[in-house]
Amino acid sequence: MTSKSADIKDLSPIARPRSVAIIGASNNEFSVSGRPLKYLRREFKGGIYPVNPRYEEIQGLKCYPSIKDVPEAVDTALIAVSIDRLFAILEECAEKEVKSCIIVTSGFAEVSDETGAVYQKQLKDFIERTGMLVCGPNCIGMVNLPLKAITTFSPIFENHSFAEGNVALVSQSGALGHAMVTIASEAGIGFNFIISSGNEAGLTTEDYLEFLVQDPETEMILGYVEGFRDANRIYNIGSKARENSKPIIILKVGKSQVGQKAAMSHTAALTGSSAIYNTVFRQTGIIEAQDIDELVDYAVGFRSKKYPKGSGLAIVTASGGAGILMADKAEEYGLSVPELKPETRSQLEEIIPAFGSSMNPVDVTGQILNDTTMFKRCINILLKDPEIHMVVVMLSTATGSLAEQMANDIADVADSTDKPVMVIWSSGARFGDNGKQILAERKVPCYQVPSKACRVLAAMKRYQDFLDSKHKEPLINDQPIDLNLVLEILEQAPQTIGEYTAKRVLKQYGISVTKEEIAKNAEEAVSIARKIGGPVCLKIESPDILHKSEAKAIRLNLKSDDEIISAFNEIMNNANNYNSNAWINGVLVQEMITGGQEVIIGINNDPQFGPVILFGLGGIFVEILKDVSRRVLPLTKEGAYEMVKEIKAYPLLVGARGREKMDINAIVDTLFKVGQLAGDFKDNIAELDINPLLVLPTGQGVKVVDSIIIKKTK
């Protein structure tokens, strides 16, 4: 997947300005146009130029009547004027060759009337014509903390000095984004860039992310996102972030899909906007947070840049109960608490009291109060065990010098290893404050409850797996395909393509389908059944009746002529009762395939990300159980195997409890062929369902039992 935008914008003038003009500057230091000037005057070393024709001096600085009167070159102009004055000022900025603008003015696309849309287009036209870098409009500004370039009117900078660091935040909500900064700051996170993108008439979230993933001074990126303007660029952003081992943690909101209830196929109902974003983030290595609290927890954990290379967790505690709780939560999040090697236990037993436990969790008991070095020595032993990939230390009510000593000891060990070491300090705010502060300063992740630590460790493990995974090439189908014939079939078919015609399309891609013909009457059904031989299945063939079981328009395992005649008449009667206005092509007479396991393969053509392929357990319960996996195309061989293994029902496919092992290779083959079809005809196909696909025992392949295709509306 390649980006639509080959050129990555140089955001240096707006991200690292050497000079800033405040247009519409005010003497009121608490106003929208007064605060930025006050903040810049504190420590910003570059040029500061207030612009306002009503004043000769503002906040002790010389004021200029127009941006054109500023004697020096201007990297960034923060514009805080009414919308009726904005465009004339923008033209003056262009004439002055101002390199970038931050527009805090509102009244654009964020308002519902037509005027806002007109202003938005006018601004876009200006940006396209001039090439100016524009943040906003309707934003609260940008911040570069190391440069003290605080070009924002946010009140969080009034009486608070935030720690500098290597974490950047991009937020499509100004106020909420800055609230996130305050929460993360209290957790010990230091920032370099804090970017409010506004409604993105110019620079978009994707532009900022592209800049930050290549910025050598940024080590981690946080984001609050409501939607992407050019979602396909996320793949290139994820790829570059992977090259630089730079975590991107995003809180994506507004993921519900309007109109999802109207989806005509199972696949479309199961690949709504939320599911697609989850899939894209997973494929690109982006860590998705579900709320602000989780985003900050991830930031605290990931800033150590030490990720587990396995799932083995060692727990060290002074409380047996706390250790059990931690072990339970670890298993819940997919981590293991392995048995320790005999030599590891032997070394631990030399340290801990006899009434403690050298098993995992390791219980050092309350004796830690008498020997504060026990934690440090135990962790060092555990880290040498090859089955241990991460260590969590559980503390509770330690205070004062004891808390400080424990924190420093744990931090010393954490500094000496590439394995992640975390602390769970389960106590109220009055306990362990000094120790918690030491851990924060030394970048040792510390959480109050086990579930938070386990969730973060699980995410860090997934991220390490992503970094370790090989770059994969898409699969290629060497089956000769008559693309013109497929296009002809699709163009001549109705909007909803029924099973018989859908299978004609699938067959062109080398996908195995059942033998079948359409019967117009009961006598034809008998004749076709005799030709096919053996038991047959009868089902309605109608683009207006997609769920045949619901319409009671399917009969299975028919052997005699009488059974076939009776079934034909019942199916036609039931179909008419179910939908009297349905267009009925006839009744499909199909070979009866027995044995095997029903699965579903589907495609939903998402307007942002393109074709999304789905796999899961098939049949009538797929939407109820929702046991499915997804990938955004193109699909790799490894990705196809991963899709099969990800569903909870995977053991059914590989011979659980004495069952026959199903043909996994045939499933993978079908997945990538369906994916190729969806890619070849992404402009024609909106949805595709193969449900069920009957998977036969190993070596016997698969059979498409039922399928529908929904065409894209032109």
Does the pLDDT value for residue 413 go beyond 90? Answer: yes
Cα separation, 274 vs 626, whole angstroms: 14
Mean pLDDT of 695-703: 96
CA distance 178 to 158: 13
What pLDDT was estimated at residue 261? 42
Q: Which pLDDT score, from 0 to 100, does residue 636 have?
A: 85
pLDDT in tens, 442-476: 999 999 999 999 999 999 999 999 999 876 666 56
- Look at residues 691, 494, 505 and name the one whose alpha carbon lies nearest to residue 583: 494
The full length of the chain comes to: 714
Whether the pLDDT of residue 253 is over 90: the answer is: no
Cα gap 505→713, rounded to integer Å:
19
Residue-averaged pLDDT of the chain: 91
Q: What is the mean predicted confidence (pLDDT) over 310-338?
A: 94
Alpha helices in 493-560 (DSSP H): 499-508, 522-532
**372-378 contact pairs (CB < 8 A, 24+):** 372/402, 372/405, 372/406, 372/409, 373/409, 375/316, 375/406, 375/409, 375/410, 376/409, 376/410, 376/412, 376/413, 377/351, 378/316, 378/348, 378/351, 378/352
Q: Is the pLDDT of residue 268 over 50?
A: no
For residue 174, pLDDT over 60 is answered with yes
Whether 264 and 546 have beta carbons less than 8 Å apart is answered as: yes
Three-state SS annotation for 546-577: CCCCCCCCEEEEECCHHHHHHHHHHHHHHHHH
Residue 265 has pLDDT above 80, yes or no: no
Architecture of domain 313-468 in this structure: 3-Layer(aba) Sandwich (3.40)
Residues with Cβ within 8 Å of residue 256, at least 6 apart in sequence = 272, 273, 274
Residue extent(s) of CATH 3.30.1490.20 domains in the chain: 515-591
Rg of the chain (C-alpha set): 31
How much is the pLDDT for 159? 82
Residue of higher predicted confidence among 262 and 200: 200
- Count other C-beta atoms under 10 Å from residue 42's C-beta: 10
Q: Which residue from 109, 149, 135 is spatially nearest to 208, judged by alpha carbons?
A: 135
pLDDT at position 620 is: 67
Q: Which of 51-55, 616-620, 630-634, 649-653 has the highest mean pLDDT?
A: 51-55
Mean pLDDT computed over 577-587: 94
Residue linked to tokens 């970038």: 100
Average pLDDT on 178-193 reads 96
Residue extent(s) of CATH 3.40.50.261 domains in the chain: 12-302, 313-468
pLDDT at 1 over 50: no
Q: What are phi and psi of 178, to 5 degrees?
A: -75, -30
Q: Is the pLDDT reported for residue 429 higher than 70?
A: no
Q: Please state which CATH number belongs to domain 515-591.
A: 3.30.1490.20
* pLDDT given for residue 472 in this prediction: 61
- The span from the first CA to the last CA of the chain, in angstroms, equals 24
Least confident of 32-36, 241-245, 633-637: 633-637
The answer to whether residues 634 and 679 touch, using CB atoms and an 8 Å cutoff, is yes
d(CA 30, CA 48): 18
**pLDDT tens figures, 522-548:** 999 999 999 999 899 999 999 899 889
Tokens read off for 413: 């060990």
pLDDT of residue 431: 64
542 CB burial (10 A radius; 0-12, 13-18, 19+): buried
Of the candidates 239, 675, 236, 704, the residue with the CA atom closest to the CA atom of residue 475: 675
What span, in angstroms and rounded, lies between the C-alpha atoms of 497 and 31?
61
Largest CA distance in the chain: 101
Least trusted range by pLDDT, from 10-14, 25-29, 478-482, 585-589: 478-482
Q: What is the mean pLDDT of residues 20-41?
A: 97
Angle, CA of 695, 701 and 705, to the nearest 5°: 50
Q: What is the pLDDT of residue 172?
A: 94
On whether the 12-302 domain is CATH 3.40.50.261, my answer is yes
Element (H, E) at 600: strand 597-606
Neighbouring-strand partners of residue 222: 169, 249
| Across 387-395, average pLDDT | 96
Instruction: Give the separation between CA 261 and CA 268, rounded to whole angstroms.
Output: 9
Q: Which of 183-197, 249-263, 405-419 is predicted with the least confidence, judged by mean pLDDT?
A: 249-263
Separation between Cα atoms, residue 684 and residue 678, nearest integer Å: 9
- Residue corresponding to tokens 């305050």: 182
Contact by Cβ (8 Å): 59, 41: yes
